[in-house]
């Protein structure tokens, strides 16, 4: 059964702290394995990719078949249901519109000393898009990773996707085509991360790697960071629903299970100010589990990592939310905007009784690649900013340098950096 807490109980703080400290990811140390895989790919290139794909995905490849060609992509599109393709196209349109609105503007101005200052934005040259395979295939994740990169102006967008036993959801390829991804390789795991970071004979290296994966992918991303940029280290999915008794308990129950069905170590938490409603939601969860195709996964998540927290008043919720810093936050209350204004740490917020988190996974527009494992305290979801970098610029003429240069000379001397001081002082004495 899920953990049940009541804020009025004497042991609430210790119970809540235990919830915060609970470890949901595997205890197994996969770092050494990921490091060995990366070393192998660096040393042997395509040969290592092919061998590891045979071992882990039970698929024999050659250098010529590592890459998925245009004909295979077109054929996959033909296999897709037209209605689903239309839905995918609508999602792509909405995702692009939202991310295009995020594009920042360059900055340029002259300050009171006559110094020209500014910054300009520009995209990274190449990005690797890791798309999970195996347990579930997510064409929506293709859109969420690839479209912001395209909007940002990244010229080369490379997708890697594992194809266990040679199976690949045609919608994944259709989504890639829709998002403008033309370079796709059928390789996954830590070996794909290594190939994207260091390159092989068939895969040229990229500048940044984005996209979620399993524990080995996460470990590999940690290890290659610095050689390339990464978006984040994604952990198991999570949802926190704040709901009062005016909600339909069946709605709230299925919202909780919408994230629980991702993974047995996903986490779903309910905060409510009504103990009776909490009981009705828990009963509704048990009923809904009987109808889900992924009931075993969702049930394990709810049983082992779920939580129901009853508070005396929803005024207590913001403090608890900020400590949990959830990936997804639903506010199914009368005045969600007022409550949201008091929340500082959440990956994405869904406002009102008719805004289920699942709408954000597919069609709303904001990105569904979000900070997990309480990292919303210091990080944000994927956006165009992840594919852009900024360069600042400064312009001085003799007059403006004469105004600010002496102070710089003083500071350089204070730090004992004579060449710094002289590079400025020389120009002050003999302007060009």
What is the structure's pLDDT at 55? 95
**Interatomic CA distance for residues 241 and 326, integer angstroms:** 10
The model's confidence at residue 235, banded by pLDDT at 50, 70 and 90, is: confident
Mean local confidence (pLDDT), 372-401: 96
Mean local confidence (pLDDT), 402-427: 97
Angle between helices 215-224 and 31-44 (to 10 degrees): 60
Contact between residue 66 and residue 46 where contact means Cβ atoms under 8 Å apart: yes
Assign domain 3-24+235-364 to a CATH class.
alpha beta
User: Could you please report the per-residue DSSP string of 132-194?
Assistant: --TT---HHHHHHHHHHHHHHT-SEEEEE---GGG---HHHHHHHHHTT--EEE---HHHHHH
Domain 397-429, CATH: 1.20.5.1300
The domain 31-105+125-230 is placed in CATH, from the list 3.40.50.1980, 3.10.20.30, 3.20.20.70, 3.40.50.300, at: 3.40.50.1980
The model's confidence at residue 234, banded by pLDDT at 50, 70 and 90, is: confident
The model's confidence at residue 137, banded by pLDDT at 50, 70 and 90, is: confident
pLDDT single digits (tens) 203-224: 999 999 999 888 899 999 999 9
What is the structure's pLDDT at 134? 55
Long-range contacts of 344-347 (CB under 8 A, 24+ apart): 345/321, 345/376, 345/377, 346/240, 346/321, 346/376, 347/371, 347/372, 347/376, 347/380, 347/381
Mean local confidence (pLDDT), 10-38: 87
Average pLDDT of the residues of the chain? 95
CB atoms within 10 A of CB 38: 23
What are the phi and psi torsion angles at 280 (to 5°)?
A: -65, -35
Cα 308 to its chain centre, rounded Å, is 26
Which residues are part of the catalytic machinery?
327-328
Contact between residue 242 and residue 332 where contact means Cβ atoms under 8 Å apart: yes
The model's confidence at residue 430, banded by pLDDT at 50, 70 and 90, is: low
**Interatomic CA distance for residues 176 and 210, integer angstroms:** 15
Contact between residue 133 and residue 162 where contact means Cβ atoms under 8 Å apart: yes
Mean local confidence (pLDDT), 353-381: 96
Contact between residue 142 and residue 172 where contact means Cβ atoms under 8 Å apart: yes
- Of 383, 367, 370, nearest to 212 by C-alpha is 370
What is the structure's pLDDT at 431? 46
Q: Domain-by-domain residue ranges, the chain?
A: 3-24+235-364, 31-105+125-230, 397-429
The model's confidence at residue 26, banded by pLDDT at 50, 70 and 90, is: low
In sequence order, which residues have a C-beta less than 8 Å from that of residue 424 and are 6 or more positions away? 401, 405, 408, 409, 412
pLDDT single digits (tens) 287-309: 999 999 999 999 999 999 999 99
DSSP designation for 246: T
What is the structure's pLDDT at 214? 86
What are the phi and psi torsion angles at 14 (to 5°)?
A: -65, -40
Same fold yes or no, 3-24+235-364 and 31-105+125-230: yes
What is the structure's pLDDT at 307? 97
What is the structure's pLDDT at 22? 87
Does residue 45 come out as left (phi exceeding 0), alpha (psi in the -120 to 50 range) or beta?
left
DSSP designation for 347: S
- Of 104, 172, 101, 184, nearest to 143 by C-alpha is 172
**Interatomic CA distance for residues 135 and 343, integer angstroms:** 34
pTM for the whole thing?
0.93
The model's confidence at residue 147, banded by pLDDT at 50, 70 and 90, is: very high
* Residue matched to tokens 């109980």: 9
Q: Is the pLDDT of residue 432 over 60?
A: no
Listing from the earlier edge strand, what are the strands of the sheet with 328-332? Answer: 3-6, 307-310, 267-272, 238-243, 328-332, 348-351
Q: What count of Cα atoms within 13 Å lies in the side-chain half-sphere of residue 405?
A: 20
pLDDT single digits (tens) 171-190: 999 999 999 999 999 999 99
What is the structure's pLDDT at 308? 98
pLDDT above 70 coverage of the chain, percent: 98
């Amino acid at each position: 059964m899920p953990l049940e807490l009541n804020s009025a109980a004497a042991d609430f703080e210790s119970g809540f702290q235990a919830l915060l400290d609970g470890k949901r990811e595997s205890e197994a140390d996969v770092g050494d394995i990921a490091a060995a895989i990366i070393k192998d790919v660096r040393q042997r290139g395509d040969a290592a990719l092919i061998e590891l794909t045979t071992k882990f995905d039970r698929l024999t490849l050659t250098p010529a078949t590592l890459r998925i060609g245009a004909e295979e992509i077109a054929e996959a599109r033909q296999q897709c249901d037209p209605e689903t393709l239309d839905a995918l196209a609508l999602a792509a349109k909405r995702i692009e519109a939202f991310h295009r609105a995020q594009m920042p503007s360059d900055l340029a101005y002259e300050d009171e000393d006559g110094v020209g200052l500014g910054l300009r934005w520009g995209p990274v040259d190449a990005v690797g898009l890791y798309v999970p395979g195996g347990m579930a295939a997510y064409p929506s994740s293709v859109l969420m990773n690839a479209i912001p990169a395209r909007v940002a102006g990244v010229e080369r967008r490379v997708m890697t996707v594992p194809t266990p036993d040679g199976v690949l959801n045609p919608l994944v390829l259709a989504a890639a085509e829709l998002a403008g991804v033309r370079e796709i390789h059928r390789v996954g795991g830590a070996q794909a991360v290594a190939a994207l970071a260091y390159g092989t004979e068939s895969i040229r290296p990229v500048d940044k790697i984005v996209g979620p994966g399993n524990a080995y992918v996460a470990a590999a991303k940690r290890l290659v960071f610095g050689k390339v940029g990464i978006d984040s280290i994604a952990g198991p999915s999570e949802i926190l629903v704040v709901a009062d008794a005016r909600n339909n308990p069946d709605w709230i129950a299925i919202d909780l299970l919408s994230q629980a069905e991702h993974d047995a170590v996903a986490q779903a938490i309910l905060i409510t100010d009504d103990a009776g409603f909490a009981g009705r939601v828990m009963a509704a969860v048990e009923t809904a589990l009987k109808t889900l195709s992924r009931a075993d996964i969702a049930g394990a998540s709810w049983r082992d990592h779920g939580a129901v927290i009853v508070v005396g008043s929803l005024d207590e919720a913001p403090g608890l939310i900020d400590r949990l810093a959830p990936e997804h936050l639903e506010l199914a209350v009368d005045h969600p905007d007022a409550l949201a204004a008091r929340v500082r740490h959440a990956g994405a917020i869904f406002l009102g009784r008719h805004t289920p988190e699942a709408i954000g996974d597919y069609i709303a527009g904001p990105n569904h690649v979000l900070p997990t494992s309480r990292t919303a305290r210091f990080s944000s979801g994927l956006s165009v900013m992840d594919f852009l970098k900024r360069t600042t610029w400064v312009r001085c003429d003799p007059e403006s340098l004469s105004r600010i240069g002496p102070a710089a000379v003083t500071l350089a001397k204070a730090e004992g950096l004579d060449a710094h001081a002289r590079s400025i002082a020389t120009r002050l004495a003999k302007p060009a």
